[in-house]
Amino acid sequence: MTQLATPTTPEVKVATRRTSIPEGLWLRCPTCEKTIFRKRMEANQHVCPECEHHFRIGALERVAQLTDPDSFEPLFTELRCADPLNFTDLKPYNERIKAECARTGRDEAVAAGRAFIKGRPSMLCCLDLTFMMGSMGSVVGEVVTRSIEHAAERDLPLIIVSCSGGARMQESGLSLMQMAKTSAALARLDDAGGLFISVLTDPTTGGVSASFAMLGDVILAEPKALIGFAGPRVIANTIRQELPEGFQRAESLLEGGMVDRVVHRRDLRNEIARVIDYAGK
């Protein structure tokens, strides 16, 4: 008797397609903690569309937001950082600078130049937080000083956008000298009848806040920007007291008379143009 073979069920292969989502398309807002589409945030001038948290941006993004298209003419781009102290912490200072240049594509933590802001000729100087936390060394101080002098010579309104962790510790006393140098240049600008609009963004701290950033004829600040000399954690640990809510934020400085206006990023360009017109520049 012939035994029939038992039929076997053929193996069914289910085709699976792996879908991959490119990294960086989404990010979590540090304030409202909602997941937001990065391109939507960037189109909103790097402001969270849910809670209006102002993300930190670099100098070139700031220039693009404030100036008329194709009107920015860079100045003082030939300046480069030296290392006269031969400073070394975890690595030599000159190696740290080279690494920052390679990472950011920038030469220093500042961008300056002539530009038009809603048709108003202006001198614009923006610190760059992406390069060594916007710290002020000799080059940054020199560029800020030359920007002030350029504005005075050509009777241009001066706008400086500050965002910095303070003086650059790798340059020691040389960086602290920039506080006096920039402040003295602003005194000469004031004697010449010039207009200085200081824009404080998150964060504006240390030697920058203790010098030119707080010397504006008009001081504007972005919402919730951290503004102060020492950071709140340092102060809290020093005085061993709990700090009040909103301490060192733009709104508290406005209430205390240290800031003239807190301006949303979308309105900043219009506000600067309005101040220039009001001053007759």
Mean pLDDT of 126-133: 97
Q: Are 170 and 96 within 8 A, CB to CB?
A: yes
Q: What is the DSSP string of 223-236?
A: TT-BB-SS-HHHHH
Q: State which H helix or E strand residue 116 sits in.
A: strand 110-117
| Residues 137/178, Cβ–Cβ less than 8 Å | yes
What Rg, from alpha-carbon coordinates, does the chain have?
Answer: 25
Q: Which residue has the higher pLDDT, 8 or 235?
A: 235
Task: State yes or no: pLDDT of 12 exceeds 80.
Answer: no
Task: Give the three-class secondary structure for 179.
Answer: helix
pTM of the entire predicted model: 0.90
Domains in the chain: boundaries: 25-55, 56-279
What integer pLDDT is reported at residue 13 of this predicted model? 53
Q: Both tokens of residue 211?
A: 């010098």
Preceding peptide of 203 cis, ω within 30°: yes
Assign 266 a pLDDT band (cuts: 50, 70, 90).
Answer: very high
**Mean pLDDT, rounded, for 112-125:** 98
CB 101 within 8 A of CB 57: no
pLDDT (average), residues 72-82: 95
Q: Is the pLDDT of residue 245 over 90?
A: no
Distances (CA, A) of 49 to 32, 67, 255: 10, 23, 26
Whole-number pLDDT of residue 8 = 54
**What does residue 120 show for φ and ψ, rounded to 5 degrees?**
-95, 120
* H helical segments located in the chain: 38-43, 59-66, 93-104, 138-154, 172-191, 206-209, 232-239, 250-255, 265-279
Give me the pLDDT at residue 6, please: 52
pLDDT value at 21 more than 70:
no
Q: Per residue in 187-239, pLDDT tens? A: 999 999 999 999 999 999 999 999 999 999 999 999 999 999 988 888 988 98
Phi, psi of 176 (to 5 degrees): -65, -30
pLDDT value for 231: 83
Looking at domain 56-279, its CATH architecture is: Alpha-Beta Complex (3.90)
Residue 126 pLDDT greater than 90, yes or no: yes
| Residue type at 195 in one-letter notation | L
Smallest CA-to-CA distance from 148 within 82, 192, 92 is with 192
How many whole angstroms separate alpha carbon 207 and alpha carbon 164?
Answer: 9
- Give the pLDDT of residue 11: 55
Report, as an integer, the average pLDDT of 31-49: 96
- Supply the pLDDT for residue 281: 81
Dihedral (CA of 201, 162, 110, 231) sign: negative
Share of the chain above pLDDT 70, in %: 92
Residue 1 has a pLDDT of 47
Contact 7, 20 (CB under 8 A): no
CA dist 194 and 231 (Å) reads 32
Q: Which of 63, 45, 60, 75 is nearest to 106 (CA)?
A: 60
User: What's the pLDDT score for residue 234?
Assistant: 87
Per-residue model confidence as pLDDT tens digits over 160-179:
999 999 999 999 999 999 99
Cα 200–chain centre separation:
9
- Is residue 20 over pLDDT 60? no
**Mean pLDDT estimate for the chain:** 92
CA proximity to 148, closest of 191, 118, 108: 191
Beta-carbon contacts of 121 under 8 Å, excluding residues fewer than 6 positions away, are 114, 115, 156
